[in-house]
């Protein structure tokens, strides 16, 4: 079983973390361009790609440039109901990330890959793993408690969030997740 986790940056100038999870062993990389990301994913031949980026717009919103009072998707509202903090897809820098996420999802799905949207910070909350804001060492140790092998002290926060994303992808394949939202996109989260 191969799951890819991608902690996507909003711009090709910033680092994106990529994790390939085979069974419970990880290999991670920091990548920049869409081309590098797509090539790495295709080479790994994953059964699932779990991307940490918004992959859809809120219902009723035609574009990110359009001025609109619509800022939240149904899945975002469910995160709020559950007390999980996040940034709305239409907030400043999130616009670039959302546009890039939607573009990559379309390319990957056209190539026949199964793509899901995940939120590592929220997944870490559900799994009882400290978020990166509490220290990378604590996040890494939390992931090690989940029996993930191949983690290193040299891994960046982007790589560790990609590991969490890949873990959620693996859990999805094992039917151990739930999907928030139906109408305008879904965020896949571990079952509590």
Rg (CA), the chain: 15
Higher-pLDDT residue of 148 and 70 is 148
pLDDT at residue 87 is higher than 80: no
pLDDT at residue 35 is higher than 90: yes
What is the value of pTM for the model shown? 0.93
Given this model, what pLDDT does residue 69 score? 85
Kindly state the average pLDDT of the residues 40-57.
96
**Element containing residue 41 per DSSP (H, E):** helix 34-44
Give 134-166 pLDDT, tens digit per residue.
999 999 999 999 999 999 999 999 999 999 999
Q: Domain limits of the chain?
A: 2-190
Kindly state the average pLDDT of the residues 59-71.
83
Name residues whose C-beta falls within 8 Å of residue 70's C-beta, 6 or more positions apart in sequence: 58, 59, 60, 61, 90
Name residues whose C-beta falls within 8 Å of residue 53's C-beta, 6 or more positions apart in sequence: 6, 8, 97, 98, 100, 101, 104, 117
Kindly state the average pLDDT of the residues 65-77.
85
Give 98-107 pLDDT, tens digit per residue.
999 999 999 9
Q: Select the CATH number that applies to the domain covering 2-190 from these four: 3.40.1580, 3.30.420, 1.10.8, 3.30.1360.
A: 3.30.420
Given this model, what pLDDT does residue 94 score? 86
Percent of the chain with pLDDT over 70: 100
Question: How far apart are alpha carbons 129 and 180 in whole angstroms?
Answer: 20
Mean pLDDT (the chain, rounded): 94
- pLDDT category of residue 2 using cuts at 50, 70 and 90: very high
Question: How far apart are alpha carbons 122 and 66 in whole angstroms?
Answer: 28
Residue of 3, 42, 7, 48 lying closest to 26 (CA atoms): 3
Residue 33, number of CB atoms within 10 A of its CB: 11
For residue 109 the two structure tokens come to: 């799905």
Given this model, what pLDDT does residue 54 score? 94
């Amino acid at each position: 079983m191969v799951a890819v986790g991608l902690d996507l940056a909003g711009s090709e100038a910033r680092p994106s973390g990529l994790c390939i999870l085979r069974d419970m062993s990880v290999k991670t990389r920091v990548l920049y361009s869409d081309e590098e990301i797509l090539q790495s994913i295709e080479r790994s031949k994953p059964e699932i790609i779990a991307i940490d980026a918004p992959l859809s717009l809120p219902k009723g919103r035609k574009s990110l440039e359009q001025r609109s009072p619509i800022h939240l998707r149904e899945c975002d509202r469910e995160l709020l109901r559950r007390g999980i903090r996040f940034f709305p897809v239409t907030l400043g820098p999130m616009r670039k990330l959302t546009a890039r996420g939607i573009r990559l999802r379309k390319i990957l799905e056209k190539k026949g890959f199964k793509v899901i949207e995940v939120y590592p910070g929220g997944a870490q909350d559900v799994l009882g793993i400290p978020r990166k804001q509490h220290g990378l060492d604590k996040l890494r140790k939390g992931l090690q408690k989940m029996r993930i092998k191949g983690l290193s002290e040299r891994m960046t926060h982007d790589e560790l969030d990609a590991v969490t994303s890949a873990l959620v992808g693996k859990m999805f394949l094992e039917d151990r997740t739930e999907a928030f939202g139906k109408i305008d996109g879904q965020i896949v989260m571990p079952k509590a």
